[in-house]
Amino acid sequence: MKLKTIIAALTALLIVSGCNNNSKSTDNMKDMSKLTFTEQQASAITAIACNEARGDQSSLMNAINEGFDAKLSANQIKEALSQLYAYTGFPRSLNALGTLQKVMEQRQDVATGAESSPMPSDYDALKQGSEVQTKLSGKPFNYTFCPAEDYYLKAHLFGDIFARDVLTHADRELVTVSALSGLENVMPQLIAHVQGAKNMGVTDSQLQWIVSSLKSHGFTAEATRCEAAIATVKGDQTPVISPSAWPLGNPNTAYAQYFIGNSYLAVLDNGLCNVTFEPGCRNNWHVHHGAVQMLICVSGRGWYQEWGKEAVELKPGVTIAVPEGVKHWHGAAADSWMQHLTYHADLKPGNSNEWLEPVDDETYNKLK
């Protein structure tokens, strides 16, 4: 009888122990709506995420070292880089993890950090992910246009990945915003995740840590994108952002009278300038006397037209040599920003610009 009692007690203990191993302890459960990074750690993880998105392995190595100096654990950085495959793709994520591995091989002071807690035996990724996505979005979100993508978002990204508690939900959104700031042409997603970060518990001051970190690491365009997204979410006036890595410069006020729409001028070295045209912006018909104007389109899409000729579409890499004395205009397409570099060649004494009439809407609107 005594032996039976002992066996029964041991069996009960094993059952209880097994249940504990298959569920997250409520006593030790993290608050997933709290950012766990210090300001120094947030600065480092921002630089890590942005460099991962940009694919810059050399700068990423420096950022990872900065992260370890700030006492981020290997598992925290590993978790961030693994998560980002869902936002930047497997190639960038795997390259970044390879860089992390190299740094860890070079350092002897790296703390491994906590592993993710095991999932409960009844864990339902789709149910969990749907709840997380609803909180992040502020309302239920169903991507009915592509049910497969909807499932991947819910069950895998916001289910399997976000359920891993090495990082909290707030931590993960700070990482996501930092990475998306490093990518061009994803502003709708960046805006959505700035709002998602706030919904997940990241404060306004903590969002500004991202901007400060991007600026301190030399990511001017990336910081501007992030600022624009934050301003949009707050309902403030959205700053004008450069559509590419080329500098936006300042409003081209000195020549505004010769433009329809807004343009921006960045003066570079050796007489080279970058001119940015907002969608629909174009300059007046004009003539260069005593000089050849060179135009090199570097981003977006636009138009160049000589008097009496068909318009030429401007795309990155298209170069135009505007002949001396030829009446012409150039500007952005109606639905796209456009940037071109410009300089003057074959300068003659007394060279000048002659500004003429605006490009009328009838002429411009024919261009598609």
For the segment 304-336, what is each residue's pLDDT rounded down to a tens digit? 999 999 999 999 999 999 999 999 999 999 988
d(CA 316, CA 240): 21
Outline which parts of the chain fall under CATH 2.60.120.10: 250-365
Distance CA 154, CA 146 (A): 13
**In the prediction, which pLDDT does 133 show?**
96
pTM (two decimals): 0.71
pLDDT of residue 10: 38
Q: What is the per-residue pLDDT across 163-172, written as a single tens digit (0 to 9) for each?
A: 999 999 999 9
The pLDDT assigned to 368 comes to 84
Q: How far apart are CA 12 and CA 237, in angstroms?
A: 63
Phi-psi region of 317 (alpha: psi -120 to 50; beta: other; left: phi over 0): left
Q: Which residues of the chain have pLDDT under 50?
A: 1-27
CA-based end-to-end distance of the chain: 92
Task: Identify the CA nearest to 339 among candidates 289, 272, 258, 286.
Answer: 272
Residues of the chain with CATH 1.20.1290.10: 31-113+165-241
CATH superfamily of 31-113+165-241: AhpD-like (1.20.1290.10)
Cα Rg of the chain, angstroms: 28
Architecture label for domain 250-365: Sandwich (2.60)
State how far the Cα of 259 lies from the Cα of 264, in Å rounded to an integer.
11
Rounded distance between C-alpha atoms, residue 351 and residue 212, angstroms: 45
> Which residue in the block uniquely carries the two structure tokens 């700035």?
194
Burial (CB count within 10 angstroms: exposed 0-12, middle 13-18, buried 19+), residue 358:
middle
Measured from the Cβ of residue 161, the count of other Cβ atoms closer than 10 Å reads 18
